[in-house]
Amino acid sequence: MRWPILSAKSTALRAKTAIALAGAALLPGCSWIRAFDLNGHQSTIDVEGPVARTQTNLFYVTCWVTLVLFIIVGAVLAYAMVRFRAKTEADEHAVPPPQGHGNPLVEVGLISGAVLALVIIAVPTVKGIFYTYDVPEVQKGEAYQVTATGYQWWFKFEYPAEQIAGHGALTTGNELVIPAGRPIHINLRSMDVMHSFWVPKLAGKVDMIPNRANLLWLEAEHPGYYWGQCAEFCGESHAVMRFRVIALAPSEFNAWLNSQMAPARDAHPGAQPATAEATAQFASVRSFGQNETGATGAFEVSPLDAWRRKQLPDSNEDPALIARGRELFSEKTCSTCHTIRGNPSAVGIVGPELTHVGSRSSIAGGLLDNTPEQLRRWIHNPEAVKPGNKMWVTGYVPNHITLSAGDEVCLVSYLESLK
């Protein structure tokens, strides 16, 4: 009964596919890009830096060469199929014509054509490899150095030029803030397995390999907010191992550095911690779907402005909850894995440094937007958000860590206050 409907549908689908394929073939250099939504967060087509642009241009060269080959081969094939098809009953049983060894002119022509196609692709490829490998000699002096280390499943970023007495280099997690218009030279490391560093709109991918120093450079042409992604399978939560790159004008970048160099903000010194009775009022956390997105929309419209707002303290913060959250951070042993400069008990280096976690736009390895609700979702059940993560496997489970609804709210208040 349903066959006619099905076949009508599949005809429409086939037509749509054909149109899409024809459109894809015509894409390079054409303004339909936006109509095809190829300007998403992780677009390699709509790029904003010289390294990614070199890679995109190379893609176009390859696309055009293969498109020409496709048209020539397709035309010859179509011609042969039509011209030499069996037209009558007699043709179908005819003896094949005498077989020759080939035509020297055609063979030489094919070989030359193939060599030419290869040269057209190889020249920009080799140039691109040298260009993207390291900061060009003329720009070397102005390059800013950063070290990026892959962990299962998050990224650590260190700024070796910014040394903090007693702590070493300035360290952040999941968000790489850089000056725009300046080449960034990134040393790539891994703490466990192989990862790969990729910011599609700026540069990538280069593998992060244990015990091996790889490097990559990138430049953001203007201030912006970029999405990055681990691009090498590295375990069960590989697909959600993300990060952000925030490019700022030099003066804003320096202001950011100054605020990050300072120890954690003590939101309300001397505040009395909230009592258990005072925190008991909080309802349990709402349940989140297994695959519910952690993108709240706050960072969609104007992500850089949303990020800037995260740098400022929340006017509604509650000193008593923050003070209790600070106590809980030690009581629940969070402090053994995370560093918070300015909190003497928080000196762990297994997890991301959290000194200024409240000023970041994302948490949980870039998977969730950093809002109080999403942060509470993360600490409420880390395993549901990022399966296999170390905070759950080596923290919550063996140490039997349980958080009441009140504990969660206090911890979130404390962490969000760390601007």
Q: Determine the 3-state secondary structure of 281 from DSSP.
A: coil
The count of chain residues that interact with ligand CUA, using the rule CB under 6 A, is 9
Q: How far apart are CA 346 and CA 333, in angstroms?
A: 9
**Shortest separation between residue 254's beta carbon and ligand CUA, angstroms:** 31
Tell the smallest beta-carbon distance from residue 151 to ligand CUA (Å): 8
- Rounded least distance, CB 192 to ligand CUA, Å: 9
CA Rg value for the chain: 28
* Residues from 218 through 237 that contact ligand CUA (CB under 6 A): 230, 232-234
As measured in angstroms, the least distance from the Cβ of 392 to ligand CUA is: 17
The label of the residue with tokens 């956390």 reads: 285
CB-wise, 152 or 374, nearer to ligand CUA? 152
**Nearer Cβ to ligand CUA (63/193):** 193
Please give the Cα distance from 132 to 127 (Å, whole number): 9
User: Is 232 or 318 the residue whose CB approaches ligand CUA more closely?
Assistant: 232
**Contact string (CB under 6 A) for ligand CUA, positions 332-361, x = contact:** ------------------------------
* Nearer CB in complex with ligand CUA: 242/324: 242
- The single-letter code of the amino acid at 81 is M
Residue numbers 180-219 binding ligand CUA by CB under 6 A: 195
| Shortest distance, position 396 Cβ to ligand CUA, whole Å | 22
Q: Does 242 bind ligand CUA (CB under 6 A)?
A: no
CA 99 to chain centre: 57
Residue identified by tokens 């102005």 is 142
Asked if 177 and 256 count as a contact pair (C-beta separation under 8 A), the reply is yes
Closest approach of ligand CUA to the CB of residue 197, in Å: 9
Q: How far is the CB of 54 from ligand CUA (least distance, A)?
A: 24
Check if the beta carbon of residue 227 is closer than 8 Å to that of residue 42.
yes
CB 45, min distance to ligand CUA, A: 23
Q: In whole angstroms, give the CA distance from residue 359 to residue 311.
A: 5
Of the pair 135, 230, the CB lying nearest ligand CUA is at: 230
Pick between residue 153 and residue 253 the one whose CB is nearest to ligand CUA.
153
- Looking at residue 272, its amino acid is Q
Measured distance CA(364)–CA(288) in Å, rounded: 15
**CA count, 13 A, side-chain hemisphere, 227:** 18
How many degrees, rounded to 5, is the angle at CA 299 between CA 294 and CA 304? 145
Q: Tell me which residues in 371-400 interact with ligand CUA (CB under 6 A).
A: none
Contact by Cβ (8 Å): 45, 60 = no
Q: How many residues does the chain have?
A: 419
Shortest reach from residue 378's CB to ligand CUA, in Å: 18
Complex with ligand CUA: residue 230 or 385, whichever CB lies closer = 230
- Rounded least distance, CB 241 to ligand CUA, Å: 4
CB neighbour list of residue 293: distance below 8 Å, 6 or more residues apart: none
Give helix then strand counts, H and E, for the chain: 12, 12
Hey, which residues between 289 and 308 contact ligand CUA (CB under 6 A)? none
CB atoms within 10 A of CB 275: 11
- 357: which DSSP letter? G
What's the min distance (Å) between Cβ of 230 and ligand CUA?
Answer: 3
410 forms part of the interface with ligand CUA (CB under 6 A):
no
For 144, list phi and psi in degrees, rounded to 5: -100, 130
From candidates 58, 188, 241, 363, binder to ligand CUA by CB under 6 A: 241
Site for ligand CUA in 128-167 (CB under 6 A): 150, 153
**In this complex, which beta carbon is closest to ligand CUA, that of residue 188 or of residue 323?**
188
**Non-local CB neighbours of 191 within 8 Å, separated by 6+ positions:** 149, 150, 151, 156, 210
Residue 115: CB atoms within 10 Å? 11
**Residue 238 found at the interface with ligand CUA (CB under 6 A):** yes
Residue (of 388, 387, 379) closest to 407 by Cα position: 379
Residues forming the site for ligand CUA (CB under 6 A): 150, 153, 195, 230, 232-234, 238, 241
